[in-house]
Structures are given as C-alpha cells and as structure tokens.
Amino acid sequence: MKFVVTAGPTREPIDPVRFLSNRSSGKMGYAIAEAALESDHDVVLISGPVNLAPPAGAKLVKVITSDDMHDAVHEEVRACDVLVMCAAVADYKPARVAKAKIKKGDEIFSLDLIPARDILKSLPRFRNFFVVGFAAETNDVEEHARAKLATKNCDMIVANDLSDPTIGMESDENAVTIFSRNGEIEKISRASKKIIAHALVKIICAKAKKVLTKNF
C-alpha cells in the first residue's frame, strides 16, 4: 500500500519573527511512517517543523503553515491508499500577518484569529483511499472522537487523552483508543510510540482492505 502520513505541528505567522503553534513533537507521526516502511509499504511523510530525522526510505515533504499542509495533502492523496492525519494542524490562524515586527507597547494587544482550513473536511466524500484521523483531547475523549469521526468523514479515529501529561504530546509514550465507522472500539495500552505505531499500521491495513474496493 501507499501511505501518506502527516506529522508535527504547523506554524501560523503573526509577523516575521512570531508565530502560533502547539506542543506537537511529531514523534507519533514519524513512528507511524517508520512502521509502515518496515512493513514494506511506500510512504510519503508530510511534516511540519520538528527536530526529528525522517525515516530512511520515506518521501519527505516539508511544510510550515496549515495552508502548506492542506496543499501538500491534496497533492499526495491523488495516488495513495491510506492517509494518516497525525499532524497537529492549527485550528486558527491570524487574520492578518504584519509585514514588520510588531513592537512591544504598554497597551493591551489584541490578535484577531480566523479558522484555518479543515483538511479532513476538505477531502472528497467519495474517494478510493482510507482516511485515519487523530483526536488529541483533554476531556470527554470518546464523545469528541466519535463526533470527529462523523463530522469529518473519517474511516477511523485514533484518540489519545492529553489529560495525562506523561504521555502524548512531547512524550516517547502514548496510549490510544481507536474508533471505527462500524462502531468497533479498540484500545492500545500505554507503550512506546514505536510499539503503538506498529500496532496501528496492522489495524489500519486490515480495516483499509475491508473498506476499499482496490485489489492490493
């Protein structure tokens, strides 16, 4: 199969020296890309700014902003079997980007934000590739994951609970719950992200083969 995996954060510029971002390290997405390669799949890794070496054998597409990520995903899914949207893409971005550095003053500074493009929602509803979304939540994990599965037209959602600061973002470990369209729920207990990635790739491949009409 051909996997397209997104990883890492995006950076949304405020001015030439400042940006909005998040705590994503990219470790989970990079581990999934590596696990897919080790299972003899072709991999395109679309990565936001991270401090990680890309896995050998993957096609690396570097992006910075949510708009960059949107365009790269739409380009690469034209010929893929599985899209794994593991990147922590910004939900909002500044309405305007200052051309020069904004100087510090004594008055309150207000920043207007607008929604960033929703990559999952922008994908075609009828397609010939399997879509895996990720939901990183701090509360009501199952409720939010199920809502995302339905509203964003994913085939599968991988949810992780960020209320535990020792796993998930910036950590080498994770624990996830997988929600599928047919109502199935699977849990992968706390383990290294590399172990979880291998388990996820096996589950994704098994589910993708059942859903897609292609002959692999």
Query: What's the pLDDT score for residue 136?
Result: 87
Query: What's the pLDDT score for residue 213?
Result: 63
- Which three-class secondary structure state does DSSP give residue 65? coil
Q: Which residue has the tokens 């059942």?
A: 210
Q: What is the largest CA-CA distance in the chain?
A: 64
CATH number at residue 141: 3.40.50.10300
CA distance 88 to 20: 12
| 22 tagged catalytic | yes
* 60 phi-psi bin (left φ>0, alpha ψ -120 to 50, beta other): beta
pTM: 0.93
Decide if 185 is inside a domain: yes
Q: Write the pLDDT tens digit of every residue in 78-129.
A: 999 999 999 999 999 999 999 999 999 999 999 999 999 999 999 998 899 9
Using a CB cutoff of 8 Å and minimum separation of 24, what contacts does 72-78 make?
72/46, 73/4, 73/6, 73/46, 73/119, 73/123, 74/122, 76/4, 76/44, 76/46, 77/4, 77/123, 77/127, 77/129
Decide if 11 is inside a domain: yes
Decide if 22 is inside a domain: yes
> Which regions of the chain are under pLDDT 70?
213-216
Q: Domain of residue 50: give its range.
A: 2-94+112-211
Any alpha helices (H) in the chain, and if so which ranges? 27-38, 66-76, 119-122, 141-151, 193-211
DSSP structural state of residue 79: G
Q: Pairing relation of β-strands 42-47 and 2-7?
A: parallel
DSSP structural state of residue 43: E
Decide if 107 is inside a domain: no
Q: Helix crossing, 27-38 with 193-211: angle to 10°?
A: 60
The CA–CA distances, whole Å, from 52 to 27, 102, 145, 152, 181 equal: 8, 31, 28, 29, 33
Decide if 80 is inside a domain: yes
Query: What's the pLDDT score for residue 216?
Result: 47
Decide if 100 is inside a domain: no
Q: How many domains does the chain have?
A: 1
Catalytic residue among 22, 128, 174, 215: 22
9: β partners: 88
